[in-house]
Amino acid sequence: MSTTVQSPPNSAPQVALPIHCTFEETEWRALARHWFPIAYSDEVVDKPLARTLLDQELIVYRTTGKQVVVARDLCIHRGVPMRHGWQEGDELICAYHGFRYGADGRCTKVPAQPDLPVPRKLCLETYACIERYGLIWTCLAVDSDHPTSIPDWPELEDPAFLMMHDPPPEWNATPGRQLENFIDVGHFSWIHTGTFGNRERPEVAPYEVEKRPYGFHVEYPYLAANSADSALGDSPTIQRWMAYDLHLPLACRLTVDYGEGRKHCIFDAPTPVSKKRTRIFFFIARNFDHHVPTRQLLDWENSILAEDKPIVESQRPEELPVDLSEEFHIRSDRFATAYRSAMKGLGLGKNYSA
Ligand code: FES
Ligand SMILES: [Fe+2]
């Protein structure tokens, strides 16, 4: 899939907060500078898709030239969401009075007064977007003085890797708690015993947390259980060489190396929908065993997610506590404590003691 970059022609330097914003203003602004996936590319085909990012209701669609447009889901004539309308060629048509909007957001036609010029200010508010890795990424408030970036995930542009995903689920959890669960190496042997967790190996050997320009790199070996119906042979256990690359604030690739060049990558990018609701872009890519049905592999990953979900949704407080005097940390939490400190540096998470 090609990459399309769209600059927002009509975004204000100080973007207004969404109506009914559930975030505090400082938190919203700290998050809105970053890029988040809002849809898989194959979800945006021939009709507009409604999605919410940071309480901002959005509409996502693809022009006939395959350019992706992300706009505020609101026609400013009478405040009607564009999701009620439809697409004709490169234009979106509002359902209420038929105003037509082009890919740059400008209104091109007001059917009730075709004899008058269309006011220049009559626009849909559009947002910066990038289509890459089979995902559509959006940033609500590009800060040109301190630009942020999307992760570098070359496997997703390597034809040797097959990418697989299901529709992105929503959880009643904060993205910080969900991401931290993804990088938590101490819970495998406890809640994942229905999939890969090995209850016989609960100890977590010391590991290093390496700082990188984008965030952190952690390598961790785990002697995982190997289920009887596994596609990885019939041994009861299997050594998983795992390498995490966490791209701050909320995206992580886990590369599981099964030896002999066999790599299975798991990607986790939780997108904040509202303060306590998160859409999870959780997908996989692997360069071996392409004969194994995609459905079988996704069902396996979904069962792992299903083991995590009730735990993460029940964590209290919901927001990631970023002051290290909150909660209790053990040696195996080094990755999490590094993450919390970095989130605090970005003005994210919750500092309960402040
Ligand atoms: S509300 Fe959209 S055209 Fe009137
Ligand atoms: Fe887990």
pLDDT beyond 50 at 99: yes
- In terms of phi and psi (left: phi > 0; alpha: psi -120 to 50; beta: otherwise), the region of 140 is alpha
Residue ranges and CATH numbers for the domains of the chain are 5-139 (2.102.10.10), 154-345 (3.90.380.10)
DSSP 34: S
DSSP alpha helix (H) spans, 13-72: 25-32
Q: What is the pLDDT of residue 351?
A: 80
Q: Ligand 1: distance of its center to the CA of 275 in Å?
A: 30
Testing ligand 1's pocket by substitution, the residue of 59, 74, 80 carrying the most ligand atoms inside 8 A of its CB is: 80
Roughly how many angstroms between the first and final C-alpha of the chain, as a whole number? 45
Using an 8 Å Cβ cutoff, are 83 and 73 in contact? yes
CA distance 265 to 122: 45
Q: What is the pLDDT of residues 228-274, one digit of tens each?
A: 656 666 788 988 899 999 999 999 999 999 889 999 999 999 999 99
CA distance 253 to 245: 5
CA distance 283 to 267: 5
The reported pTM is 0.94
Q: Which two tokens stand for residue 352?
A: 């309960």
- Specify the 3-state DSSP secondary structure of 8: coil
Question: Minimum mean pLDDT among 229-238, 273-282, 286-295: which range?
Answer: 229-238
Q: What is the pLDDT of residue 330?
A: 97
The edge-to-edge listing of strands for the beta sheet with 107-109 is 86-88, 91-93, 100-101, 107-109
pLDDT beyond 60 at 4: no
Q: What is the pLDDT of residue 5?
A: 46
User: Nearest C-alpha to atom 4 of ligand 1 is from which residue?
Assistant: 97
User: Nearest C-alpha to atom 3 of ligand 1 is from which residue?
Assistant: 97
- In terms of phi and psi (left: phi > 0; alpha: psi -120 to 50; beta: otherwise), the region of 261 is left
- Specify the 3-state DSSP secondary structure of 32: helix
pLDDT beyond 60 at 12: no
Using an 8 Å Cβ cutoff, are 178 and 280 in contact? yes
pLDDT beyond 50 at 7: no
Q: What is the pLDDT of residues 55-89, one digit of tens each?
A: 999 999 999 888 999 999 999 999 999 999 999 99
How confident is residue 353, by pLDDT bands cut at 50, 70 and 90?
low
Q: Is the CB of 97 under 6 A from ligand 1?
A: yes
**Count of beta carbons in the 10 Å neighbourhood of residue 73:** 22
The mean pLDDT value of the chain amounts to 93
Q: Ligand 1: distance of its center to the CA of 14 in Å?
A: 26
The CA-based angle 138-143-146, given to 5 degrees, is 115
Q: Ligand 1: distance of its center to the CA of 8 in Å?
A: 22
Of 39, 40, 14, the C-alpha closest to 28 is: 14
Query: How far out from the chain centre does Cα 2 lie?
Result: 19
